[in-house]
Amino acid sequence: MENHTPRALGAARKLRRQMSLPEGLLWQQLRQRPCGLKFRSQHPVGDFVVDFYCASHRLVIEIDGKVHDMGGNPARDRERDQWLEGKGLTLVRVPAPDVLRDPARVAESLVALCHDMPPPSALRAATSPRGGDSLGVVS
């Protein structure tokens, strides 16, 4: 997803230099392009920065540490998740302790998830030049 604000781009650049331990461990796995999948770390989307993004599957991956349970963060996360999903992105939240325990296994699970997902183009309804669906039914 290429649409982002200048503020989000600046924040993403800063966050790439300051990854948490779980983010860094998972990035070491994902940056190797497992099964040919390209992941981006600290990727700007709109006015947000997501921990990891796989553009080919429109998959957002967030690593959740304890801070996500504090104060107003759960409500903020829900609002952010709804916005991202409203843009047609699939969101996966991974608990930080899972990454700390076995980052390779988490990466394998994410790759398996990508392989189980239909490509984004398969999710769009086919349309005819006359404006109906692919069966010629005009709505």
For the record, the structure tokens of 55 come out as 């553009």
For 61-120, how does the pLDDT look when each residue is reduced to its tens digit (9 = 90+)? 999 877 655 556 678 888 889 999 999 999 999 999 999 999 999 999 999 999 888 766
Residue 69 has a pLDDT of 56
In angstroms, the first-to-last Cα distance of the chain is: 30
HSE of 34, CA atoms in CB hemisphere, 13 A: 19
From the list 46, 49, 53, 54, the residue with the least C-alpha distance to 12 is 49
Strands 90-95 and 59-64: parallel
Q: How far, in Å, CA of 18 to CA of 24, rounded?
A: 9
Backbone φ and ψ for 38, nearest 5 degrees, come out as: -95, 125
Over residues 124-132, mean pLDDT: 48
Sheet holding 90-95, edge to edge: 40-45, 48-54, 59-64, 90-95
What pTM, to 2 d.p., does this model score? 0.75
Q: How far, in Å, CA of 68 to CA of 70, rounded?
A: 6
Of the pLDDT bands very low, low, confident and very high (cuts 50, 70, 90), residue 54 is: very high
Whether CATH 3.40.960.10 fits 6-123: yes
For 10-53, how does the pLDDT look when each residue is reduced to its tens digit (9 = 90+)? 666 777 788 899 999 999 999 999 999 999 999 998 888 899 99
Complete DSSP assignment for 20-86: -HHHHHHHHHHTT-GGG---EEEEEEBTEEEEEEEGGGTEEEEEE-GGGGSTTHHHHHHHHHHHHHH
Going from N- to C-terminal start, the domains of the chain cover 6-123
